[in-house]
Amino acid sequence: MTTAKANVNFHSATRQSVFDAKQADPRFREYRRRWVEEPASLTAGPFPIHLDIESTGVCNLRCPFCATTTKTWGPDEPGYMKLELFRRIIDEGAVEGLCSIKLSFRGEPTLHPHLSDMVAYAKQKGILDVYFNTNATLLTDTLVHKLIDAGLDRISVSFEGITKEAYEGYRPGAKYDKVIENVRRLKTIRDQRGLGYPQIRMQTVMLPELQEAFGQYTDFWKPWVDEVAYIDARREGPQDDHRGLRADWACPFLWQRMTILWDGTLLPCLMHGVTDFSLLALGNVKETSIKSLWQSERAARYRTLHREGRAHELEACDRCSFRAMELEKNGIAKAGTQAR
Please report, for the domain that includes residue 64, its CATH number. 3.20.20.70
Residues of the chain with pLDDT under 50: 336-340
Domain span holding position 288: 10-234+250-330
Q: What pTM value is reported for the model?
A: 0.93
Q: Which residues of 187-197 are buried (b: 16+ CB within 10 A; e: fewer)?
A: bebbeeeeeeb
111 lies in some domain = yes
Q: How far apart are CA 137 and CA 324, in angstroms?
A: 32
297 lies in some domain = yes
Q: How far apart are CA 327 and CA 43, in angstroms?
A: 21
Q: What is the pLDDT of residues 213-255, one digit of tens each?
A: 899 999 999 999 999 999 887 666 555 666 788 888 899 999 9
228: amino acid identity, one letter: V
Helix (H) or strand (E) holding 248: none
215 lies in some domain = yes
308 lies in some domain = yes
DSSP code at position 109: G
Q: Number of structural domains, the chain?
A: 1
131 lies in some domain = yes
335 lies in some domain = no
